[in-house]
Amino acid sequence: MLTTGYSNKLMVGSFSPVLRTGQIRAYKLCALTLHNLCAHLTLISNYDKVDGMRKYILLIISIIVLSCATPSFAFWVWTPETNKWVNPKYAVKDTPQEQLEFAKQYYVQKDHKKALQELEKLIKFYPKAKEAPIAQKYIGLCFEAQNKNYRAFQEYQKVIEKYPFSDLAPEVVELQYKLGEKMLQNPSKSQFVTTLTGGEYDVIDVFRTVIKNAPYGPHAAVAQYKIGLYLSEKKMYQEARDEFEKVVNDYPQSEWVKPAKYQMALVDSARSSRAQYDQKVTQSAVEEFKEFVKNYPDAELSAKAKKEIAALNEKEAENNFLVAKFYAKHKKYQSARIYYNTIIEEFPSSTWAAAALEQLRILDKKAK
C-alpha cells in the first residue's frame, strides 16, 4: 500500500495489473469461445476429459491476457475522515495551510501549471480561509512568471476585489505598479497579437487601476505621470498633456509635479510642429518652459528647458517668416512688413532675423 501524499488517505491496490477495456473484451470473447467449444466437445466425447481440457485452456488464456496488462497506479484513494473514495487528482490537503505550502513548492520549482492547479484547489475548497487571498496573489505571480502580464494584473486585482479586508492590498498594488512599469518598458513586439487582443493600451488600464486602488498611495502620482508618458510616446499629445495636468492638480505636493510641468511644455512643443501657421501652441509651450525655468532654476531639466525655448523661438520665427512671404507674394506688403519686423524685434538671435532684414530691404526697393 502506497500513500498518495495526502494524510490519512491510502491508495488501494497501489501497484497492480489493470486490464484495459480492449483486453477485458478479448478475455470475455476467449472465455465465451472456450465455453462453446467445450459444450460441443461434451456432446461427442467423454465429459471428464473435456472438463479437464477446459481448465488447461482457461489457464493458458488467462496467462496470455494478464501478460498484456499494463501496470498502473490505482485511480482512487480511501479517506477515513469522510468514509469516501476520492480521486487524488482533485483531492485537497486537510488544512488550507498544508495546501498552500504544497502549492508553493511547485511555484518554487517553477512548475507553474501544477502550482496553479493546487492554488485553485485551495480557493475552491477553502474560499474563506485566511490563506485564500495569499493563494490568489500566488496565482498572479505564476502568470507573471510566464510573462502573461495582463492576465497576472487581472489575477492580482481579484485579491483587492474578492478579499477587500485582506492585509495584502498594499503589496498587491505595488505588484500591479511594477507590472505596469514592465509593460511600459517592454511593450509587445507583435503588432498582430496587439491587434487581436486589443492590448495596446493595457498599460494605461494597469496604471489607472493602481490609482483607483490606492488614490493617495505612494504609487498614485507616478502612475498618473507614466500614463502621460505612454500617451506622449504614442504621439497623442493633447491626451498626454491632460494626464500630466492631472499630476499637477491632483498631487500638488508630489515630487512628480516638476517633471509633469516640464512634460506639459514638451508635448505642447511637439503639438506646435503640427500647425505651421498657428502660433498659439508654440507660444504656450514657450511660456510653460519659461515658467519652469523660473520656478526650478537649479533643476537639471532647466538646462534642457532653455534649449527647448531657443528651439521654439526659432520655430516661431520661421512661422512668422513664412506668413510674411505669403503676404508679400500676394502684394500685401504692409502686412508682410509687420511679420518681418516681428522677427527682427522678438527673435533677433534666430537664424531668420537676417533673412527678415534682407526681405525688408527688398520691399523698400519695390516701394520706390
- Any domain includes 153: yes
- Any domain includes 34: yes
Q: Is residue 119 located within the same domain as residue 72?
A: no
Q: Is residue 108 located within the same domain as residue 60?
A: no
Q: Is residue 19 located within the same domain as residue 56?
A: yes
Q: Is residue 111 located within the same domain as residue 28?
A: no
Q: What is the structure's pLDDT at 18?
A: 40
Domain count, the chain: 2
Q: Is residue 75 located within the same domain as residue 104?
A: no
SS3 of the chain: the string is CCECCCCCCEECCCEEEECCHHHHHHHHHHHHHHHHHHHHHHHHCCHHHHHHHHHHHHHHHHHHHHHCCEEEECCCEEECCCCEEECHHHCCCCCHHHHHHHHHHHHHCCCHHHHHHHHHHHHHHCCCCCCHHHHHHHHHHHHHHCCCHHHHHHHHHHHHHHCCCCCCHHHHHHHHHHHHHHHHHCCCCCHHHHHHHCHHHHHHHHHHHHHHHCCCCCCHHHHHHHHHHHHHHCCCHHHHHHHHHHHHHHCCCCCCHHHHHHHHHHHHHHHHCCCCCCHHHHHHHHHHHHHHHHHCCCCHHHHHHHHHHHHHHHHHHHHHHHHHHHHHHCCCHHHHHHHHHHHHHHCCCCCHHHHHHHHHHHHHHHHC
- Any domain includes 45: yes
Q: Is residue 121 located within the same domain as residue 35?
A: no
pLDDT digits (tens, 9 = 90+) for 245-272: 999 999 999 999 998 998 998 888 887 6
Domain end (from 26, 57, 88): 88
Q: Is residue 209 located within the same domain as residue 100?
A: yes
- Any domain includes 222: no
- Any domain includes 348: no
Q: Is residue 83 located within the same domain as residue 104?
A: no
- Any domain includes 115: yes
Q: Is residue 54 located within the same domain as residue 141?
A: no
- Any domain includes 218: no
- Any domain includes 5: no
pTM for the whole structure: 0.63
Q: Is residue 80 located within the same domain as residue 121?
A: no
Q: Is residue 197 located within the same domain as residue 110?
A: yes
pLDDT digits (tens, 9 = 90+) for 320-359: 888 888 888 888 888 888 888 888 888 888 888 888 888 8
Q: What is the structure's pLDDT at 21?
A: 47
Q: Is residue 139 located within the same domain as residue 112?
A: yes
Q: What is the pLDDT along the chain (368 residues), one digit of tens a residue?
A: 334 444 454 544 443 344 444 444 555 555 555 556 555 545 545 545 545 555 656 566 556 555 554 444 445 666 665 566 666 667 889 999 999 999 999 999 999 999 999 999 999 999 999 999 999 999 999 999 999 999 999 999 999 999 999 999 999 999 999 999 999 887 655 444 443 334 567 999 999 999 999 999 999 999 999 999 999 999 999 999 999 999 999 999 999 999 899 899 888 888 766 545 456 667 777 777 777 777 777 666 777 777 777 777 787 788 888 888 888 888 888 888 888 888 888 888 888 888 888 888 888 877 66
Q: Residue 39 belongs to what domain range?
A: 10-88
